Structure 1
Amino acid sequence: MARSDFGDSVAGAARPVIDFVRSRADPRKKEIRRRRRTRRKASFFGAASGSTAVGTAAVAVASAPEWLVVTGGGAAAVFAVPAVLAVSRYRRMRGVPLPPAKPRKRALPPWGSAARAPMMRLTGAEQSLHHLLAMVARSGAIATGDLDDTARIASGAAESLDQVAVDIVEMERAAQGSPRAAEHLATSIDAAVEELDQGVDQFDELVAAAAQLTSPGVSGPDTRRDALLFASDRLRGFAYALDELRP
């Protein structure tokens, strides 16, 4: 087995563990887990407070001793305070935009593949877009929904381009094993590489549009927001066409 193939095999075997660790460290997913814990805490104390209050009312109607009614009311208040605090904290969390999701760690095509250079460019562009969207989210210059849409479109487009790269690698390996097949595959490989390059160029345009939002310019914030959404729509259209044209 060649050294590069052995390295790819080791990387493939370790990828689930690496993905799990990255998932646990992802700021967006960590914040989602924090919000879920806070929401569960609010639900728990709210339910405990409500059930205790109902129980207290029932004993009072049954003419139970006063000490029992007072104890029950005190327990309801004890549970109500953390319930209110948890709800308030959860509402504050909901008011802050979630950090953008980190781009998925991708295995690059092997050395010598025509798909490797474009995919290296795509990996860098994904990282740049992630940092830019995080800055824009903190500034509040763009609505959270628009940023989420942009991140989702970028992620979907990157997946489509990744599949094109996989196809290129498969065709290159098939060509290596059959000289006659290589004659027919050469044109297909060149066309796929051109599509991959064009897709990465479209992705770079989206990154450039996001970069414009981080500093004041001649154009107003609405104009720059429109440029970001326009670049997102173009990338989405390109990715859709790519998926439709793939065999």
Structure 2
Amino acid sequence: MGASRKNELAQLGEAALEQLRGPVLSEVRRKIARWRDPRARALRQRKRVKRTATASAAGAGVFGAGAVTSASAPVLWEWGGSVGFFLQDVTTFGLGGLAVIGGATAVGAGVKYRRLKRTPLPEAPPEPVALPASGSAARAPMQRLRDAEQSLHGALQQLTSAGAGSAAADARGTADSAAAELRRGAERLVAVEAAIPHAPAGERAALRSDVERLRQELDEGVDGYGALVAAAGRAVAASGASEQKHLLQDATDRLAGLADGLRELFGPERRE
């Protein structure tokens, strides 16, 4: 078996492993991201506090009912004479004390739960997105885009906490739109790459030229997205909320223009 044949088989094996690992690894990444997500942690905390309040209230009710029953039914203790009535006092006091503790715990947990409910939940981070195959020209820009999305999410969270919530929300919406257009462009690039091996020899050069053009457009688009990430970082470092909003809004407007351009390039309405 020649070296070229061995290389071809190795490439096929790597591609098969990539397909097998890809969905599994993507799901693992999603689960880890969901577990670490501050929004998910806040929701889990709410659930824990609510369970504590419910269980404590139920326990207080049960112990309180037991204390009332013990105190109001002396016939249950007459069999023991003075010892029985002593046990009645101990039981009533013990159950009543447990009811008070349970009630206090329930009240405290209820107050905490209401406070948590009033606290706005953090924005959910972007879902980890599967990347194109390792040999694709679209993989590197899509890797950059995915990393940039995570960085932007952290910066916008900081700005929201600092009082620039409206500007952060505008930036987030524009960034999501631009990212969707970039991923649509990556899908087109991958489709062109897949057509090259099946095209007549005389047409493959033109298809490769299309791949290079699409890759350049993707790189430029990701650079534009990165400009918003940089502006968000500068806004986080800025001292005043007004300056933060100005920096972020200016970059958002520029990215909105870029998103419109990407939509013209990669959108379904375009005709080649």
Deviation at 1:5, TM superposition (A): 0.7
Deviation at 1:225, TM superposition (A): 1.1
Deviation at 1:78, TM superposition (A): 6.3
CA deviations on 1:104-154 (whole Å, 9 max, x unpaired) are: 3333333453323322322332232233334445xx323445545544543
Q: TM-score, normalised by structure 1?
A: 0.68
> 3-state DSSP class of the match of 1:213?
helix
Distance 1:86 1:182, change over 3 A: farther
CA deviations on 1:34-86 (whole Å, 9 max, x unpaired) are: 2244346557767999x99xx9xxxxxxxx99xxxxxxx99997665344322
2:22 equivalent in structure 1 = 12
Letter of the 2:198 partner, please give it.
G
Deviation at 1:9, TM superposition (A): 1.3
Flag the structure with larger Rg: 2
Deviation at 1:33, TM superposition (A): 2.3
Do 1:28 and 1:99's aligned partners in 2 also have CA atoms closer than 8 Å?
Answer: yes
Do 2:238 and 2:244's aligned partners in 1 also have CA atoms closer than 8 Å?
Answer: no
2:189 equivalent in structure 1 = 168
Of 260, 263, 268, 1:242 maps to 263
Gaps of 5+ in 1: 56-63, 66-72
Do 2:235 and 2:247's aligned partners in 1 also have CA atoms closer than 8 Å?
Answer: no
Q: Percent identity over the alignment?
A: 34
Matched, 1:199 2:216: no
1:68 equivalent in structure 2 = none
Write the distance in 2 (CA, Å) between the matches of 1:125 and 1:135: 16
Write the distance in 2 (CA, Å) between the matches of 1:232 and 1:36: 36
Do 1:45 and 1:82's aligned partners in 2 also have CA atoms closer than 8 Å?
Answer: yes
Q: How many residues align?
A: 237
Write the distance in 2 (CA, Å) between the matches of 1:145 and 1:45: 40
Write the distance in 1 (CA, Å) between the matches of 2:171 and 2:117: 20
Q: TM-score, normalised by structure 2?
A: 0.63
Distance 1:46 1:147, change over 3 A: farther
Do 2:142 and 2:183's aligned partners in 1 also have CA atoms closer than 8 Å?
Answer: yes
Deviation at 1:222, TM superposition (A): 0.8
Letter of the 2:184 partner, please give it.
Q
CA deviations on 1:136-177 (whole Å, 9 max, x unpaired) are: 45xx32344554554454345324322321221121121132
